[in-house]
Amino acid sequence: MTRRIVPLFAALATTLTLLTTACGGLDIMDNPYNHTDDEIARAAALLPTLPTLEDTEAELTAAVLRIADAATAIAPELVWEQRRERRQIGCGGAFAKTDGLEIDLPNYVSPIPIPDAAWPRVLQAARDILAPLGITELTVRVDRPGDHDVVVTSSDGRHVDLGTKVAALVSGRTGCRLPAARS
């Protein structure tokens, strides 16, 4: 009898959890995918004020490649390879119902990780390259010997990822923008 009660109790607990979370019940208004018409209109109105998707992609790609070059100048053993192609994706949040798109830049990877002794200088070089673009908000995900992972973001949705552990990575995303053909 106890064996039947435990699975039944687990199923009941799971159902109650789903009903009382953003997956379908009482907190539905807190769901980040529910946006008012006003929020969507503000998002749509913002897009034409930003550079085009193509211009943003070109500027961010140049910055990512400059970061990779700067890292190699600091740690010559780093050799960068493109490991993933760029991807065009739809925007999220209030921008999801607009004509905007985002580009995930290619991943540039070095199979040799950034040495711990070089990490602070590589990170500072990246910040120096990104600052003139307004990409200045640093979030440290991990910072311990042999394992570093940061993202540097801008208020308009652009971000650059930089990290090292088994290998090193630099990549980025444009944030939501209108393609030139739609602006």
Dihedral angle computed from the Cα positions of residues 18, 19, 20 and 21, in that order, rounded to the nearest 10 degrees: 40
Q: What is the pLDDT of residues 10-55, one digit of tens each?
A: 443 433 343 333 333 333 334 556 788 888 889 889 999 999 999 9
Of residues 110, 122, 82, 98, the one with CA closest to residue 175: 98
Greater model confidence, 35 or 175: 175
Q: What is the pTM of this model?
A: 0.80
How far apart, in whole angstroms, are the C-alpha atoms of residue 70 and residue 64? Answer: 10
Q: Cα 111 to the chain's mean position, in Å?
A: 21
Structural class in CATH, domain 51-182: alpha beta
User: How many other C-beta atoms lie within 10 A of the C-beta of residue 104?
Assistant: 15
Both structure tokens of 155: 């208020």
Mean pLDDT over residues 147-168, rounded? 97
Instruction: Spell out the residues 6+ positions from residue 104 whose beta carbon is closer than 8 angstroms to its own.
Output: 86, 87, 88, 89, 171, 173
Q: What is the pLDDT of residues 87-124, one digit of tens each?
A: 999 999 889 989 999 999 999 999 999 999 999 999 99
pLDDT at 146 over 90: yes
How far apart, in whole angstroms, are the C-alpha atoms of residue 75 and residue 79? Answer: 9
Q: What is the pLDDT of residues 158-172, one digit of tens each?
A: 999 999 999 999 999
| Residue 22 pLDDT | 36
What average pLDDT is seen over the chain?
86
Where are any strands of DSSP class E within 24-100? Answer: 81-84, 87-90
How far apart, in whole angstroms, are the C-alpha atoms of residue 117 and residue 31? Answer: 43
Every domain of the chain and the residues it spans? 51-182
| Per-residue DSSP letter, 176 | S
How far apart, in whole angstroms, are the C-alpha atoms of residue 177 and residue 95? Answer: 9
